[in-house]
Chain A
Amino acid sequence: MDLPIVALLAQDGITNGAIYALLALALVLVFAVTRVIWVPSGEFLAYGTLTLAGLQLGKASGIAGLLAGMAVVAGAMEAWRSIGDGEARRLPARLALWTGLPLAIAAALYFIAPLQPPFFVQILLALTAVTALGPLLYRIAFQPVAEASVLVLLIVAVAVHFALVGLGLWFFGAEGSRTPPFTSASFELGGVTVSGQSVLVVATSIALIFALALFFNRTLYGRALRATAVNRVGARLAGISPGFAGTLTFTLGALMCAFCGVLIGPITTVYYDSGFLISLKGFVGAIFGGLVTYPAAAAGSLLVGVLESFSSFWASAFKEVIVFTLIIPVLLWLSLTTQHHEEDE
C-alpha cells in the first residue's frame, strides 16, 4: 500500500462520504422537524438517478404517472378536509397547489421527455419531478398521522419504503442504470490523479450544505422550521402551521436526496432497490449526531465513506460488517453521555 493508493482510496471515500453526508443531513432535518425516521430517503435517491437515466432514453412515463396518481389522491384528501372543516371556499386554491401543480410537472415531464432536451434540462426535470414526490408523500402518508408516536411514524415510513421499492421495480425495471459523467476531466495534484467528477461531487455537496445553513439562519421559512424542530407546540402557538412545516421539510429532504441521486449516477450503477443500503450508511452517519446535530452527522458520514473505502481495500468480504459495526460504539457513547428523557405521548 503506497501513497497513490492511499490517495485514491481517500478520494473515493470522501466522494462517497459527501453523498452520505447530504443524505444524513436530509435524515436529520426530516427527523428534527417531523419526528419521522425517513426510511424511504434512499428511494428518492434511486428515483433521482433512474428518472434521469430514463430521461436520457426519452422515457419518463412511470414517474409522471406516479406524480399524477399521487396528485389526484392528495387533491381528494384536500377536498375531504376542506368540506369537513367547512372551508369549501379555500378548496380551489388548495386543489391548485396539491393537484394542479404536480399534474403540471407530470405533464411537462411526459411531453418534454421524448424531445430529448439538453442534459442540464434533463437534470432540472428529474430533480423537479422527484422533489415533487416529497410533499405529496407527506400529505398522503404522514400528515394524517402527524401527531402519532415516533414508532407509528417509523412504521408508516417503512411501509412507504416498501411501496416505493415495489413501484420502482415496476417503473424502472430490475436492471440498473448509469448516467453519463458531468465531466471526464481529471488533473494531477501532487502526483495523484484527481477526477473532476469527485471534485464536482464534493464541491456541490459543500455548496448545498452552505446554502442550507444560510436558509436556516437567514430566511423566515428556515427559522420557522428550526423553531418547529426545537419546540413543536411553541412554534404552533407562534403561528407556524405544523402541516406547512412538514410539507416544506419533505420538499427540502426530497430535493437533497434527488440531488444525491443525480450526483451518484455517473459514479455507480443504481438499481431500483439500491437506495436503502446507501441511505442506511447516511443513517449511520446521522447517528453520530444523535439524529439532531448537523455538523456531527456530516463528519460521521465522511468517516463512514472513508472507512468503507479503506475496508474494501483491506478486507473486501467484511466491508459492510466493518461499516455497520461502527454504529455500536457510537450508540454506546451516545447512551452514556446524553441524558435520556421519555417522550410524553
Chain B
Amino acid sequence: MVARMLRRPLVAGLAIAFAFAAQSARADINVGVTLSATGPAASLGIPEKNTFDLVPTTIGGQKINWIVLDDGSDTTKAVQNAKKLVAENKVDVIVGSTITPASLAMIDTAVEAETPMISMAASARIVDPGNPKTRWIFKTPQSDSLMADAIAVSMKANGVQTMGYIGFADAYGDGWLAEIKRSAQTAGIRVIAEEKYNRNDTSVTGQVLKIVAAKPDAVLVGAAGTPGATPQKELVSRGYKGRIYQTHGVANPDFLRVVGKDGSGTLLPVGPMLVYEQLPDSNPVKKVAADYINKYEARFGTRSTFGGHAWDAYLLLNAAIPEALKRAQPGSKEFRAALRDALEKANVVATHGVYVMTPNDHNGLDNRARTMVRIDNDKWVVSR
C-alpha cells in the first residue's frame, strides 16, 4: 500500500530529473565512440583510443563531449555500447567500431535511433548503397576493393599471371579473397590456390606447402597485424621465390619487427599517411597527415594508420558539425538529421586521402587514398 502511494510521485520526480538532465546536456554535442581497445583487435583499437585523447574538445565554438567505450572486439558488446550511447548518453553521432562484424551489427541501433554513425572498419558492406539502412552510416577506412585493385594493378605491372592466396579464416580473410578474385579477374590474373589460417595458429606449414606446390607467380597474404608475418616467414623458409603481397592491415611497425629480414621486398597498398614524408608537397594529404602524426608521435610514439582512421572521423565531424549547427540545436532529432545531411555532402582532405561523400558513396575515398609501398630494410618505401 505504501509502495503504491509512493509510486506516482516517485515516477514524476524521476521524469522531472531526467528532463532536467536532458535540458542541461543540450548545450553540448555528445559524440559516442565504441572501439576495440582490448581483445583480438586491440592493436587496431589502441591507437584509435589514443587518437581520441588528442581530438579538440570544441568544434565550431561548440563544446564536444567525447564518450569513449571499449567493446573488447566483441560484436555483442559493441551493440550494447551503441544502445547505451543512444539511450543513456543521448549522443548526436556514434563513431565505431574498429572491426567489420561489430560495425555491421551496430547499424540497426544507429538507424532505429536515427543517429549518424561513422565506422572505423574496412568492409565496403558497411556502407553498401544498395541497403537503405546505410543512409545513416559512413566509414573512414579505405574499402578492401580499392586496395585490392591497387594490388591487381601492381601485379599486372610486374608481369604476374597466376597468384595464390592465404588469409584469415574470418570475415577479413573472406572479404579479401572475394575482392582480390574480382580485381584479379579484371586484370587477367588467375587465382590458383586459396588457403585459410587462424590468427593464433602455431604453424601454417600445411597451407604454405600446398600454395608452393601450385607454383603461383605471386602470393597475397590476407591478414591484419603481426599474424600476417606467419605465412610470409613460412613462404620464405620453404624457398618460395615469387613476389609476396600483403594487405594494408599489416602496415604497422610491429609487423616489421616480427617479420624481420623475411619481409624484404614485400609489396602492399597503404593509406598515404604512413609514408607522408615521401609524398610530393603538392599532395594535399601531406600537410594534414604531418599535423596529425606530429601530435600523435609526440605523445604515443610510432604512428599507426588505424589511429589515422579515428582522426579522419574527427575531421569529418569537424567539417559537418558547423553545418548542422546552422540548422538545429544539438541533442535533437533535427540536429542528428542535419548532421547526417552535412556528412553526406562532406568534402574533406584527411590523413588517408580526400573524402568526397555523395548519397551513393558514404566512404568517399578514391585513388588518392592508396599508395603502393615496398618493405626495404625495415622501412616502408613508396613503390609502384
Contact = CB atoms under 8 A, between A and B. Distances in A.
Contacts of A264: 202
B320 to A, nearest CB: 31
A170 to B, nearest CB: 10
A240 B230 CA distance: 47
A312 B196 CA distance: 8
Contact of B169 (A8, A308, A317): A317
Contact of B206 (A12, A166, A271, A320): A12
A182 B1 CA distance: 78
Interface string B28-47: 00000000001010110010
Interface in A299-345: 308-314, 316-317, 319-320
Contacts of B209: 5, 8-9, 313
Contact of B205 (A8, A166, A176, A178): A8
Nearest to B260: A178
Contacts of A16: 202-203
A9 B257 CA distance: 27
B258 A317 contact: no
B205 A320 contact: no
A112 interface: no
B227 A317 contact: no
Interface string B218-261: 00000001110110000000000000000000001010011010
A273 B199 CA distance: 11
Given A169-B42, A268-B230, A269-B230, A176 B258 contact: yes
A15 B202 CA distance: 10
B23 interface: no
Contacts of A308: 203
B217 interface: no
Given A5-B213, A320-B198, A269 B206 contact: no
A122 interface: no
Contacts, number: 94
Interface size, A (range): 35 or more
B187 interface: no
A176 B197 CA distance: 16
Contact of A309 (B200, B203, B225): B203
Contacts of A176: 225-227, 254, 258
A56 to B, nearest CB: 11
A274 interface: yes
Given A174-B43, A316-B195, A268 B201 contact: yes
B333 interface: no
A169 B43 CA distance: 10
Nearest to A277: B200
Given A175-B252, A176-B227, A312 B206 contact: yes
B319 interface: no
Interface in A37-87: none
Given A175-B226, A269-B227, A317 B202 contact: no
A8 B206 CA distance: 8
Contacts of A274: 200
A268 B202 contact: yes
A312 B213 contact: no
Contacts of A278: 200, 202
A119 to B, nearest CB: 16
B113 interface: no
A177 interface: yes
Interface of A: 5, 8-9, 12, 15-16, 19, 166, 169, 173-178, 264, 267-269, 271, 273-274, 277-278, 308-314, 316-317, 319-320
7 contacts: A9-B206, A174-B42, A175-B254, A176-B254, A177-B258, A264-B202, A312-B206
**Top-3 shortest CB links A-B:** A312-B206, A313-B206, A174-B42
Given A12-B206, A174-B43, A269-B226, 20 more contacts: A5-B209, A9-B205, A9-B209, A12-B205, A19-B202, A169-B38, A174-B46, A175-B225, A175-B252, A175-B257, A176-B227, A176-B254, A176-B258, A264-B202, A269-B230, A309-B206, A312-B203, A317-B196, A319-B196, A319-B197
